[in-house]
Amino acid sequence: MPVRTARQWFWLGSAALLALAGGVSLAVWDRAPRDASALFSLSLPDTSGQQQSLSQWRGKVVVINFWATWCAPCREEMPEFVRAQREFGPRGLQFVGIAVDEPDKVARFAKELDLNYPALIGGYGAVELSKTLGNDLSALPFTIVVDRAGTVARIQLGPFKPDKLRSIIGNLL
Amino acid sequence: MPTRRRGLLRRALVVTALTLMASASAQVNPLAPEKAFRFSARALDPHTVEARFSIADGYYLYRDKLHFAVEPAASGLTVPLLPNGKIKEDQFFGRVETYRGNLIVNLQLQATPPGQNVVVQAESQGCADLGICYPPNIQRVIVALPAAGSAPTPLDEAPKKQWFK
């Protein structure tokens, strides 16, 4: 087999660099509806069994995160959410977790993390809901950022890089 | 190398490079679970079904979320012996065992009449290294059990792509 020409190495090298630069963000946001009314009309129980209507957070910048304790990448990004909630909560940011999970596991993890935002229980119905919002694979974590006007500003499949999350939140607050 | 093969190689390299460039500017798309955790099954003998997961690179399945069932229930599936996976410490769940690559599980059926069709159902739950997890996923295949004394049925494989002849 002949030695690769310099030209071929150039093409392969460029391709590799571009692939790296492209990053591994998994936004699927061209698929999602723009209006978050369907989300705000949702009512789900929290870990103590109390029904919580998402409409109570209308007017805030709401970050709705679909997650589960059985999803390690989901758990790993949550400390950053706790930090952001603490820092930006006074300015109108509201994280809401919707767990595709069992209440006792969610409660245990919420306690470990000292969770400072609501952990609602969605069950597998929550997975179906996230599908209508652009989550074709029903995968987790799946996060929707809604602005104060109730418009979907960002959809994220996969972990949210902290600087990306903060930049999006910062622009909306 | 003959000239024709060299031309093919060159074209393959260009296509690969272009694909990488295209996928870098587009979003990275995780595989659908049926592709990431491709399930197949075949009969080895009248009472044994070989169940197989071909797990794509960069994906893994959890051992404790793996469940098999065979229909009709009267087939008498015994508790399958699962191979050893990779053990890791999970911060929340403690010791967790995962599988990558090819996962093969033999399913023993105690009470099937030879020559019958059965439905093999596999439930699995897995994640991708790039940072997502799928909910539990059920896949079902029909397996024709051979009559007594036949050879194992051939494995149903996806056609392999070939760059070179």
Domain boundaries, chain A: 23-172
In a domain, B150, yes or no: no
Residues B24 and B59 in one domain: no
Residues B126 and B140 in one domain: yes
In a domain, B71, yes or no: yes
Q: Homologous superfamily of A23-172 in CATH? A: Glutaredoxin (3.40.30.10)
Residues B26 and B38 in one domain: no
Q: b or e along B21-48 (b: 16 or more beta carbons within 10 Å of the residue's beta carbon)?
A: beebeebbebeebeebbebbbbbebbbe
Considering only the beta carbons, identify the residue of B13, B62, B90 that sits closest to A12: B13
Q: Report the catalytic residues of A.
A: 71, 74
In a domain, B160, yes or no: no
Residues B11 and B41 in one domain: no
Domain count, chain B: 2
Residues B62 and B43 in one domain: yes
pLDDT computed for residue B9 by the predictor: 75
> A102: Cβ–Cβ under 8 A, 6 or more apart, which residues?
none
- Please give the residue range of the domain that contains residue B42: 33-144
* Residue A2 to residue B6, Cβ atoms within 8 A: yes
For residue A99, give the chain B residue with the closest CA.
B135
Residues B71 and B3 in one domain: no
* Residue B131 to residue A139, Cβ atoms within 8 A: no
For residue B129, give the chain A residue with the closest CA.
A73
Residues B102 and B85 in one domain: yes
Mean pLDDT calculated for residue range B40-47: 94
pTM: 0.76
Q: Does A18 touch chain B (CB under 8 A)?
A: yes
pLDDT, one tens digit per residue, over B63-100 is 999 999 999 988 999 999 999 999 988 888 889 999 99
Residues B102 and B41 in one domain: yes
Q: Does A74 touch chain B (CB under 8 A)?
A: yes
Quote the mean pLDDT of chain B: 84
Residues B42 and B120 in one domain: yes
Q: Does B131 touch chain A (CB under 8 A)?
A: yes
Q: Does A78 touch chain B (CB under 8 A)?
A: no
* Residue A26 to residue B130, Cβ atoms within 8 A: yes
Which residue stretches of chain A have pLDDT < 50? 18-25
